[in-house]
Amino acid sequence: MADALQSPMVEGLNRQFVEAFKTRNFSAVAQMFTDDAVMLPPRNNIITGKSNIQSFWTRATRIREVKFDTDSLAALGGDVVREIGKFRMRVERPVDPETGGESGPGSARAGQARSREILGKYVFLWRNINGDWKLETSIWNRNKPEGQGRRQRRRRPGSGE
């Protein structure tokens, strides 16, 4: 387990990220990363560097809220801390007011929004650079929906299975 002083530090950094995200201040979000940071979002390519990370978050318009809950911290040397935890994310999809269905991207009829919560897990590597803790690496993915078992294998016709 990491030093007891690192827990409040990481909690403070997570709150800072959440607040910047909530106000849609993606420049402040990007400033929380090292210059050569690496981000590995689900179903996406590897993203490197502050400006590309800022662009990613700026384009993530459906994500409205994020919250982090740290499960464990480990010091990986004097200047790196690994954080493992769970996240909650609220995602909105625009709704067409006439049909009640989802509106397409850029639809002029987009009215209210449907909201859903996504639960997942993450790993952050925080690096101390000249006294400032910055995200060097972040990776996250969704949890499997409750009650969903292993994916059934598709049987090919005539395969005899």
The 10s digit of each residue's pLDDT in 78-126 is: 899 999 999 999 998 776 656 555 555 544 444 566 888 999 999 999 9
Q: What span, in angstroms and rounded, lies between the C-alpha atoms of 83 and 36? A: 19
What is the pLDDT confidence band of residue 61, given thresholds at 50, 70 and 90?
confident
Residue 145, φ and ψ in degrees, nearest 5: -55, 145
Worst-scoring range by mean pLDDT, 3-7, 42-46, 121-125? Answer: 3-7
Please list the alpha-helical segments (H only) found in 25-130. 26-31, 50-59
Band the pLDDT of 1: cuts 50, 70, 90.
very low
Residue type, 157: P
CB atoms near residue 116 (< 10 Å): 10
Average pLDDT of the chain to the nearest whole number: 84
Whole-number Cα distances in Å, 108 to 69, 73, 97, 98: 37, 46, 11, 12
For the domain spanning 6-85+117-142, the CATH number is: 3.10.450.50
Sign of CA dihedral 95, 96, 101, 103: negative
Residues contacting residue 30 through CB under 8 Å, at least 6 positions apart: 50, 51, 53, 54, 57
In the structure, what pLDDT confidence band is assigned to residue 33 with cuts at 50, 70 and 90?
very high
* Token couple for 136: 């060097």
Residue 77's identity, in one-letter code, is: G
Domain ranges of the chain: 6-85+117-142
Residue found by looking up tokens 């994500």 in the block: 63
The model's pLDDT over 63-75, given as tens digits with 9 standing for 90+, comes to 889 999 999 999 9
Residue 73: its H or E element: strand 63-75
- State the pLDDT confidence band at 147, using cuts at 50, 70 and 90: low
pTM equals 0.76
